[in-house]
Amino acid sequence: MKRIEFHNREKETKEIMAILDSEPSLIMFVYGPINSGKTTLITHLIEELPDEYVVFYVNLRGKFISNYDNFVRALFKLDREKKEYKEILKTISEVSLKSLKFTGIPVTEGVMDLFFREKTYEDVFEFLEDYFTEIAENKIPVLIVDELQKIGDVRINTYLVYELFNLFVRLTKELHLCHVFAVTSDSLFVERVYSEAMLSGRCDYLLVDDFDENATAAFLEEHGFTDDEMKVAWECCGGKPVCLLELIRADDPERKIAKLLRLRTGELKTFLKTLNELGGKITVNDERHEINYELIIDVLKMFLDEEEIDMWSIDEISKRYLVKNNILFIDPDMGIIKPQSRLDLLAIREVMGDAYQLWKPKKTAAATRLSSKSQSRSMTV
Ligand SMILES: Nc1ncnc2c1ncn2[C@@H]1O[C@H](COP(=O)(O)OP(=O)(O)O)[C@@H](O)[C@H]1O
Ligand SMILES: [Mg+2]
For residue 308, what are the domain limits? 263-380
On whether both 221 and 200 belong to a single domain, the answer is: no
| Residue 120 confidence class, pLDDT cut points 50, 70, 90 | confident
Between CA 121 and CA 158 the distance in angstroms is 11
Q: Is 185 in the pocket of ligand 1 (CB under 6 A)?
A: yes
Q: Is 39 in the pocket of ligand 1 (CB under 6 A)?
A: yes
Name the residue at shortest CA distance from atom 9 of ligand 1. 37
pLDDT of residue 220: 94
Residue 379: pLDDT over 50:
no
Q: Is 9 in the pocket of ligand 1 (CB under 6 A)?
A: yes
CA distances from 255 to 77, 245, 246, 250, 320 (A): 45, 14, 11, 9, 34
On whether both 295 and 235 belong to a single domain, the answer is: no
> Where are the alpha helices (H) located in 250-301, listed in sequence order?
253-278, 293-301
Q: Is 35 in the pocket of ligand 1 (CB under 6 A)?
A: yes
CA of 95 to the centre of ligand 1 (A): 33
Asked if residue 52 belongs to a domain, the reply is yes
On whether both 203 and 215 belong to a single domain, the answer is: no
Residue 374: pLDDT over 70:
no
CA of 125 to the centre of ligand 1 (A): 32
On whether both 303 and 324 belong to a single domain, the answer is: yes
pLDDT in tens, 266-303: 999 999 999 999 999 999 988 999 999 999 999 999 99
Q: What is the mean pLDDT of the segment spanning 194-219?
A: 92
Between CA 150 and CA 156 the distance in angstroms is 14
On whether both 177 and 231 belong to a single domain, the answer is: no
Q: Does residue 172 or residue 156 have the better pLDDT?
A: 172
CA of 276 to the centre of ligand 2 (A): 32
On whether both 114 and 203 belong to a single domain, the answer is: yes
Instruction: Express as a percent the part of the chain with pLDDT over 70.
Output: 91
On whether both 46 and 148 belong to a single domain, the answer is: yes
Say which ligand is closest to the CA of 36: 1
Taking the whole predicted model, whether its pTM rises above 0.85 is answered as yes
| Residue 195 confidence class, pLDDT cut points 50, 70, 90 | confident
On whether both 234 and 317 belong to a single domain, the answer is: no
Contact 144, 42 (CB under 8 A): yes
Contact 93, 135 (CB under 8 A): yes
DSSP class of residue 364? P
CA of 361 to the centre of ligand 1 (A): 36
| Residue 378 confidence class, pLDDT cut points 50, 70, 90 | very low
Q: What is the mean pLDDT of the segment spanning 74-89?
A: 85
What does the mean pLDDT of the chain come to? Answer: 89
CA of 37 to the centre of ligand 2 (A): 7
On whether both 98 and 120 belong to a single domain, the answer is: yes
Q: Does residue 81 or residue 290 have the better pLDDT?
A: 290
pLDDT in tens, 243-257: 999 999 999 988 999
Report the candidate in 356, 341, 342, 355 with the shortest Cα–Cα distance to residue 296.
Answer: 356
CA of 147 to the centre of ligand 2 (A): 7
Q: Is 34 in the pocket of ligand 1 (CB under 6 A)?
A: yes
Q: What is the mean pLDDT of the segment spanning 158-185?
A: 93
Q: What is the CATH number of the domain that holds 302?
A: 1.10.10.10
Residue 373: pLDDT over 60:
no
On whether both 333 and 232 belong to a single domain, the answer is: no
Q: Is 309 in the pocket of ligand 1 (CB under 6 A)?
A: no
Number of domain units in the chain? 3
3-class state of residue 127 by DSSP: helix
| Residue 355 confidence class, pLDDT cut points 50, 70, 90 | low
Q: What is the CATH number of the domain that holds 139?
A: 3.40.50.300
On whether both 170 and 237 belong to a single domain, the answer is: no
pLDDT of residue 154: 83
Asked if residue 173 belongs to a domain, the reply is yes
Q: 199, 223, 249: which is the final residue of a domain?
A: 249
Q: Is 37 in the pocket of ligand 1 (CB under 6 A)?
A: yes
Residue 9: pLDDT over 70:
yes
3-class state of residue 299 by DSSP: helix
Q: 196, 225, 249: which is the final residue of a domain?
A: 249
Helix, strand counts (H, E) of the chain: 17, 15
